[in-house]
């Protein structure tokens, strides 16, 4: 059975004290409000990983993830962070292929294939992001565009490795804009992606793959979006920086 997952992507926000405060609040609410059956992943900037891990401790179902990792194992790559390092600092997940990395850092599907490989080799669960820009949505070719992102970066994986992948569908036009996809638009794409995955890895594997929605998700719309059959949770940006909002989203299942 696939997991319900809510991941918070802090992006490049919060200083040390702010990160500590946010984490402390989330951990306390998470425990006090008796949250069950949802896997929660905090994805702070790299420098926060160690102190955030100390606060999270062994809280059940509360995990840490990176926002990116290098496609290389180690060596003279100034400014990079490897999957091995993330794992050694307590991360279990890593976001790969976020649209901001694809756009601002020119990350190609080919590069992302190498990052996925690094993550898997180091025991990290990739949260693999995909999603179309507005012009592709308006041209009506969004399903093919997003399916192609999966084909190019994931379809070389073995069945065993594919079983470890989490997908996050994030329409770029909905990220940070306050303009969320409707729950029907999310469901339509998630179903199309699941069918696409089934065509390659079989129906059972596709049915076991968690597909998260991301893009202006908030406590007001999460319940509707998460109620859809093929939506297994969310990748949350802005709202993950506010403890009350983030925990309310987690509680929207």
Binding site for ligand G3H (CB under 6 A): 9, 98, 170, 175-176, 214-217, 235-239
Chain centroid to Cα 77, Å, comes to 25
Nearest distance from C-beta of residue 137 to ligand G3H, angstroms: 15
Query: What do you get for the CA distance between the two ends of the chain, in Å?
Result: 16
Residue with tokens 């025991």: 123
> Which of 187, 214 has the CB closer to ligand G3H?
214
**Six-digit token pair at 249?**
């989203």
Q: Among this protein's residues, is 142 annotated catalytic?
A: no
Alpha helices of 33-141 — where are they, by DSSP H? Answer: 49-56, 83-88, 99-104, 109-121, 134-139
Q: Shortest gap between Cβ of 57 and ligand G3H (angstroms)? A: 25
CB 27 within 8 A of CB 59: yes
Residue 216 annotated as lining a ligand binding site: yes
Q: Give least dist CB 8 to ligand G3H, A.
A: 8
- The residue sitting closest to ligand G3H, measured at its beta carbon, is 237
Any catalytic annotation for residue 98? yes
Q: Which is nearer to ligand G3H, 124 or 201 (CB)?
A: 124
C-alpha dihedral, 130 to 135 to 139 to 144, nearest 10° = -20
122 is in an annotated binding site: no
Catalytic residue among 48, 100, 170, 196: 170
- The catalytic position among 98, 142, 190, 196 is 98
Does residue 246 contact residue 236 with C-beta atoms inside 8 Å? Answer: yes
Binding site residue list for substrate: 9-11, 176, 216, 237-238
| Catalytic sites, residue numbers | 98, 170
């Amino acid at each position: 059975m696939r997991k319900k997952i809510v991941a918070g992507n802090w992006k490049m926000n919060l200083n040390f004290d702010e990160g500590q405060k946010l984490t402390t609040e989330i951990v306390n609410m998470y425990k006090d409000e008796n949250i069950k059956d949802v896997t929660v992943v905090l994805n702070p900037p790299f420098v926060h990983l160690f102190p955030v891990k100390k606060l999270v401790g062994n809280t059940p179902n509360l995990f840490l993830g990176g926002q990116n990792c290098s496609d290389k194992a180690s060596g003279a790559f100034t400014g990079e962070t490897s999957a091995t390092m993330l794992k050694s600092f307590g991360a279990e997940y890593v976001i790969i292929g976020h649209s901001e990395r694809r756009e601002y850092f020119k990350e190609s599907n080919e590069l992302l294939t190498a990052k996925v490989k690094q993550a898997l080799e180091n025991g990290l669960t990739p949260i693999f992001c995909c999603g179309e820009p507005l012009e592709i949505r308006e041209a009506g070719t969004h399903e093919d565009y997003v399916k192609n992102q999966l084909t190019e970066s994931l379809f070389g994986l073995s069945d065993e490795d594919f079983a470890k992948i989490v997908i996050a569908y994030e329409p770029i036009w909905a990220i940070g804009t306050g303009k969320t996809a409707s729950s029907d638009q999310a469901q339509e794409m998630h179903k199309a992606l699941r069918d696409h995955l089934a065509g390659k890895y079989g129906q059972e594997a596709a049915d076991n793959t968690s597909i998260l929605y991301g893009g202006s998700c908030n406590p007001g719309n999460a319940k509707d979006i998460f109620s859809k059959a093929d939506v297994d949770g969310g990748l949350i940006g802005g709202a993950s920086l506010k403890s009350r909002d983030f925990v309310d989203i987690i509680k929207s299942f």
